[in-house]
């Protein structure tokens, strides 16, 4: 889908676009501009146990490696395997700049373990968006095409245009319009690991109005692109104990703030937990809910999430047998056939092609701000 067509979709929704003014820098590779605070350092021991089918001749595994960038610092650490000793190669794919450690196991017998031990420091990022200051852009530079077009995961077509036209009846500005989309997701999406695409599929999310974090954020990304705003799904490692160590967020490019991170899925979980708490008064619940939505809309990324990948529908390096929608923990193939994506948070699943075991040791007590309500207090 071309940028011209997407702009036409935006026009059908009644948007009046203008050129970005002043010193606004339109750069898809612009580093995060959010205000960093409350850094926490972690020692991470990350283990993946991959079980290829019997008589596999070649097992190939790609493991994402977190970058150092504003908001986080991650060392390369140590990569090792067991029982077969394999030296990985590390490469970066050219479209989104994602880095992977690549392993080849020849004639593997039984399960193979890959271990990544490293240290990382992660800060909160807050953008404090003022919707009135967000610029509309008439024509995005061509380098933004990868964040505006329809792809295999973030599908954008007339179905999404119709839905967005119903959600955003009157265009108010990029930030406000995106907030309206996130409000719709909160009101209509249901979090469900037993019914999830595991692939940031906007089509799956639109049809089922449910899923897990990647479905929420794949759909939000699609709606954002209909609105003419560049968007992307970002995946990372949760620095706290959970069934699956992966978690994702959605980012939108809102000049002059650049790329801004939003966690629609975990904000919904937080709001539902607040509303269900019987010890809170109605007034306290209302105040906390307002604070949760305000934090979401102003742009917030917590210090218990280490970004590993960004973007959807790209070739790995070296190339796999197919392009990937996203990479959650690893991507693996046995003799050119992808191994099925596991979801250990799905209580109905009993068989897994691979599993992860993660130990994270912070340098100080850290609480997850989408569960700890005190984090909603002003800082």
Phi then psi for residue 147, to 5 deg, are -105, 5
Q: What percent of the chain has pLDDT over 90?
A: 87
Q: What is the mean pLDDT of residues 257-265?
A: 98
pLDDT of residue 2: 40
The answer to whether the beta carbons of residues 262 and 51 sit under 8 Å apart is: no
Residue 211 makes CB contacts below 8 A (sequence gap 6+) with 189, 191, 192, 195, 196, 197, 201, 204, 205
Q: What is the mean pLDDT of residues 213-231?
A: 98
Rounded Cα–Cα distance for residues 92 and 197 (Å): 26
Q: What is the mean pLDDT of residues 86-94?
A: 97
The answer to whether the beta carbons of residues 299 and 126 sit under 8 Å apart is: yes
Phi then psi for residue 293, to 5 deg, are -70, -35
Both tokens of 117, joined, read: 């031990």
Q: How many residues does the chain have?
A: 379
Residue range 266-298, pLDDT digits in tens: 999 999 999 999 999 999 999 999 999 999 999
The answer to whether the beta carbons of residues 314 and 33 sit under 8 Å apart is: no
pLDDT of residue 16: 29
Phi then psi for residue 149, to 5 deg, are -85, 165
Q: What is the mean pLDDT of residues 216-237?
A: 98
pLDDT of residue 24: 67
pLDDT of residue 345: 86
pLDDT at 69 over 90: yes
Q: In the 8-state DSSP scheme, what is residue 140?
A: -
pLDDT of residue 359: 97
Residue range 173-199, pLDDT digits in tens: 999 999 999 999 999 999 998 899 999
pLDDT of residue 374: 81
Of the pLDDT bands very low, low, confident and very high (cuts 50, 70, 90), residue 378 is low
pLDDT at 22 over 60: no
Name the pTM for this structure.
Answer: 0.92
The answer to whether the beta carbons of residues 236 and 122 sit under 8 Å apart is: no
pLDDT of residue 12: 34
Q: What is the mean pLDDT of residues 95-106?
A: 98
pLDDT at 9 over 50: no
Set out the domains of the chain in order of their start, with CATH numbers: 3-35+125-306+369-376 (3.10.620.30), 40-121+313-362 (no CATH)
Strands 190-191 and 210-211 turn out to be parallel
Residue range 141-178, pLDDT digits in tens: 999 999 999 999 999 999 999 999 999 999 999 999 99
Rounded Cα–Cα distance for residues 260 and 33 (Å): 8
The helix/strand/coil state of 39 is strand
pLDDT at 377 over 80: no
pLDDT of residue 21: 36
Mean pLDDT of the chain: 92
Cα–Cα nearest to 39, from 263, 376, 362, 262 = 362
Q: What is the mean pLDDT of residues 327-353?
A: 93
């Amino acid at each position: 889908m071309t940028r011209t067509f997407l702009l036409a979709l935006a026009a059908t929704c009644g948007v009046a676009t203008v050129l970005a003014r002043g010193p606004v820098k339109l750069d898809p590779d612009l580093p995060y501009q959010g205000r960093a605070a409350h850094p926490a350092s972690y020692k991470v021991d990350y283990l993946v146990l991959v079980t290829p089918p019997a008589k596999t001749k070649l097992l190939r595994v790609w493991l994402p490696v977190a970058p150092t960038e504003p908001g986080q610092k991650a060392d390369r650490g140590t990569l090792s395997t067991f029982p077969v000793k394999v030296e990985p190669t590390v490469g970066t794919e050219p479209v989104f700049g994602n880095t992977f450690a690549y392993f080849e196991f020849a004639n593997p017998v039984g399960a193979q373990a890959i271990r990544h031990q490293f240290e990382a420091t992660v800060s909160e990022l807050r953008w404090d968006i003022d919707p009135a200051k967000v610029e509309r852009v008439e024509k995005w530079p061509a380098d933004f095409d990868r964040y505006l077009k329809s792809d295999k995961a973030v599908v954008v077509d007339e179905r999404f245009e119709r839905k967005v036209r119903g959600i955003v009846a009157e265009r108010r500005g990029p930030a406000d319009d995106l907030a309206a989309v996130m409000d719709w997701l909160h009101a209509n999406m249901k979090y469900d690991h037993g019914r999830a695409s595991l692939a940031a599929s906007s089509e799956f999310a639109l049809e089922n109005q449910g899923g897990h974090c990647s479905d929420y954020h794949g759909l939000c990304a699609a709606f954002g692109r209909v609105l003419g705003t560049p968007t992307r799904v970002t995946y990372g490692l949760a620095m706290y104990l959970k069934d699956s160590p992966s978690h994702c967020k959605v980012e939108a490019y809102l000049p002059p703030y650049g790329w801004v991170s939003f966690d629609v899925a975990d904000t919904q979980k937080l709001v539902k937990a607040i509303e269900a708490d019987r010890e809170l008064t109605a007034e306290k619940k209302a105040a906390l809910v307002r604070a949760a939505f305000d934090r979401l809309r102003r742009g917030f990324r917590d210090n218990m999430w280490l970004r590993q990948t960004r973007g959807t529908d790209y070739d790995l390096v070296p190339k796999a047998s197919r392009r990937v929608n996203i990479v959650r923990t690893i991507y693996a193939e046995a003799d050119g056939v992808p191994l099925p994506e596991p979801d250990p948070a799905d209580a109905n699943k009993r068989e897994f092609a691979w599993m992860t075991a993660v130990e994270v040791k912070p340098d100080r007590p850290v609480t997850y701000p989408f569960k700890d309500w005190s984090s909603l207090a002003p800082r």
